[in-house]
């Protein structure tokens, strides 16, 4: 596409997104105002964010959103354990070893970068607004990966296929004239920008970065212009194409929480908690006003010619002049603090329930039993399971594919076995949340085996129905046991063969000894008989 087409597409995407922006702004205003930069003003300042934060009388929504974001992150991408692997199906030992090593290298490089910080802020955007945009690329200076979380106020999305994943992303951003010259070269910029770079180098210039799939491309393309995903940067005011490149994979992942019908955009759980959050905020404001009346008091005064109610001020160590002590009396405020407190607690509990904060946060009290832990894990799985499915498809899968492509082309993963050429890999998730979804199957296996053992006391043949080797392998994988401690099928069979051979040799030796002993006993008897 040329610059004019990109500008027209951007205008269309803006008009399609505008009906949803008010909702997202309200969600951010009642949870994380600073994350809503661009929806209220072009770029929110710290002072503006502080003013918006001051309008929030109660911080329950903010706290619950933070707990939910932290819970999702620790369940999806924990930094302290490997949370994914790669499979190609029916792989050999060499293939399995290379895939496991590659997964470990990717995991180390992902968490060695700025991923954890960017991912957490992105999940806050998901919880508040329902989506985020994470740009993934290679760090050209230090090596490894770099993750850039784009402010969603400046990102516009679409899908080239009806009901499909987002594959077209437009991002508006600004550079100083000096930065624009350094990035794109003076010859690629408009005359106005070149003039600004000389006269006012700190003046801001608007650009748009358009990322979209190419209709025609070359497989294994070396030139960026022939790659499957196009990357075009346009100077907005001049409508000038300043850069054209491409990517082998979609560099931006855009996961969503709950889809808005007939739209590529989404809303988050804060949207569901918004009515309670508004009511709670207003109720807390009224409660503070009532508290002010209860502490400072409310008075009624008579204008008797001496006492002027319009100018009199009540306070300690003050003398009020009046004709009578009845000229000024205190009034009861009529505030019902008990009702207000009950209502506030009810609204706070409702918000925390909607945002799953009570279920995800560790409970105070004595240590939980194994049964209580299992019940709690089941609850978390039920609450986050549906969310995890969409995040797995729209967040983790494309992110790992992008990171794998970058690392493989950079030669970090080493030479792959020739047998893997042309085979697509699938991502196998090992995160705590993924494992929790398999705990029911693990429990079912244990229950089934225990029942079979009881029946086997009467009929031992019933154990023929159970493949104990496969059961143990499945349980190990479901529980996240490191693959390095589980022997391969070939090693297992060899150990069993060696054990059987050793047992057979021992039996043969024992039989030989018995035969020799019997022969010796027979010879001894013959000698005794001859004597």
Segment 410-417 long-range contacts (CB within 8 Å, at least 24 positions apart)? 410/138, 412/105, 412/109, 413/98, 413/101, 413/102, 413/105, 413/106, 414/98, 414/101, 416/98, 417/92, 417/94, 417/95, 417/98
H or E segment and range at residue 52: helix 46-54
Neighbours of 231 (CB within 10 A): 17
Residue 155 maps to a domain:
no
Residue 388: what pLDDT? 80
Residue 518 maps to a domain:
yes
Neighbours of 357 (CB within 10 A): 22
For the segment 202-223, what is each residue's pLDDT rounded down to a tens digit?
Answer: 999 999 999 999 887 666 667 7
Q: Which residues of the chain have pLDDT under 50?
A: none
For the chain, the domain total comes to 2
Q: Which residues pair with 146 in a beta bridge?
A: 137
Residue 151: what pLDDT? 92
Non-local (6+) Cβ contacts of 26 within 8 A are 274
136: tokens are 């993934």
Residue 505 maps to a domain:
yes
CB half-sphere exposure, 316, CA atoms < 13 A: 1
Read off the DSSP letter of residue 256.
B
Residue 317 maps to a domain:
yes
Which residue's entry shows tokens 């040329």?
2
Q: How many degrees, rounded to 5, is the angle at CA 231 between CA 147 and CA 176?
A: 70
Q: How far is CA 169 from CA 13, 90, 172, 203, 247, in A?
A: 10, 37, 10, 26, 13
Residue 447 maps to a domain:
no
Write the DSSP string, 313-334: ---TT-----S-GGGEEEE---
Residue 501 maps to a domain:
yes
For the segment 60-103, what is each residue's pLDDT rounded down to a tens digit?
Answer: 999 999 999 988 888 788 888 888 888 887 777 788 888 888 99
- Boundary-marking domain end, from 332, 353, 388: 332
Residue 504 maps to a domain:
yes
Question: By residue range, what is the domain housing residue 323?
Answer: 298-332
H or E segment and range at residue 70: helix 60-76
Using DSSP, state whether 439 is helix, strand or coil: helix
- Boundary-marking domain end, from 311, 332, 353: 332
H or E segment and range at residue 54: helix 46-54
152: tokens are 């969603």
Q: Are 322 and 306 a contacting pair, CB within 8 Å?
A: yes
- Boundary-marking domain end, from 332, 353, 376: 332
| pTM across the whole model | 0.79
Would residue 28 be called left, alpha or beta, if left means φ above 0 and alpha means ψ between -120 and 50 degrees? alpha
Residue 523: what pLDDT? 79
Residue 306 maps to a domain:
yes
Q: Is the CA virtual torsion 92, 424, 481, 447 positive or negative?
A: negative
């Amino acid at each position: 596409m040329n610059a004019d087409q990109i500008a027209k597409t951007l205008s269309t995407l803006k008009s399609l997104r505008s009906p949803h922006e008010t909702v997202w702004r309200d969600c951010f205003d009642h949870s994380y105002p600073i994350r809503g930069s661009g929806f209220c003003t072009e770029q929110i300042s710290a002072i503006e964010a502080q003013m918006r934060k001051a309008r929030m009388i109660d911080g329950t929504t903010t706290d619950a959103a933070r707990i939910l974001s932290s819970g999702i992150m620790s369940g999806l991408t924990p930094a302290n354990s490997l949370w994914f692997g790669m499979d190609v199906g029916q792989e050999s030992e060499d293939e399995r070893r290379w895939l496991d090593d590659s997964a470990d290298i990717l995991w180390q490089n992902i968490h060695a970068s700025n991923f954890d910080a960017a991912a957490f802020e992105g999940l806050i955007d998901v919880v508040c607004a329902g989506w985020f945009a994470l740009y993934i690329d290679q760090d050209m200076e230090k090596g490894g990966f770099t993750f850039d979380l784009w402010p969603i106020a400046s990102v516009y999305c679409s899908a080239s296929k009806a009901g499909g994943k987002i594959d077209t992303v437009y991002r508006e951003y600004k550079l100083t004239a000096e930065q624009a010259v350094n990035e794109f070269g003076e010859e690629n910029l408009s005359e106005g920008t070149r003039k600004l770079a000389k006269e006012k180098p700190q003046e801001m210039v608007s650009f748009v970065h358009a990322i979209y799939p190419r209709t025609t491309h070359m497989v294994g393309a070396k030139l960026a212009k022939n790659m499957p995903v196009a990357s075009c940067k346009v100077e907005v005011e001049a409508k000038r194409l300043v850069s054209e490149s491409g990517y082998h994979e979609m560099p931006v992942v855009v996961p969503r929480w709950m889809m808005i019908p007939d739209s590529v955009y989404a809303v988050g759980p804060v949207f569901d908690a918004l009515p309670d959050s508004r009511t709670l905020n207003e109720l807390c404001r009224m409660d503070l006003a009532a508290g002010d009346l209860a502490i400072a008091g409310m008075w009624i005064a008579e204008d008797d010619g001496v006492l002027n109610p319009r100018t009199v001020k009540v306070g300690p160590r003050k003398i009020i002049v009046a004709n009578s002590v009845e000229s000024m009396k205190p009034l009861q405020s009529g505030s019902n603090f008990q009702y207000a407190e009950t209502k506030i607690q009810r609204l706070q509990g409702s918000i925390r329930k909607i945002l799953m904060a009570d279920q995800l946060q560790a409970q105070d009290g004595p240590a939980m039993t194994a049964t209580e832990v299992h019940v709690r894990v089941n609850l978390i799985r039920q609450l986050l399971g549906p969310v995890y499915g969409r995040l797995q498809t729209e967040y983790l899968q494309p992110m790992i594919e992008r990171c794998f492509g970058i690392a493989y082309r950079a030669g970090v993963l080493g030479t792959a076995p020739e047998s893997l050429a042309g085979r697509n890999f699938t991502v196998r998730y090992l995160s705590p949340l993924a494992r929790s979804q398999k705990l029911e199957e693990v429990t079912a296996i244990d229950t089934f085996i225990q029942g079979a053992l009881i029946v086997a006391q009467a009929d031992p043949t019933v154990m023929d129905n159970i493949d104990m080797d496969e059961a143990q392998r499945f349980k190990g994988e479901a529980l996240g046991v490191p693959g390095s401690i589980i022997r391969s099928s070939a090693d297992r069979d060899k150990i069993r063969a060696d054990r059987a051979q050793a047992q057979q040799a021992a039996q043969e030796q024992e039989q030989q000894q018995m035969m020799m002993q019997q022969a010796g006993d027979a010879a001894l008897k013959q000698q005794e008989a001859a004597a």
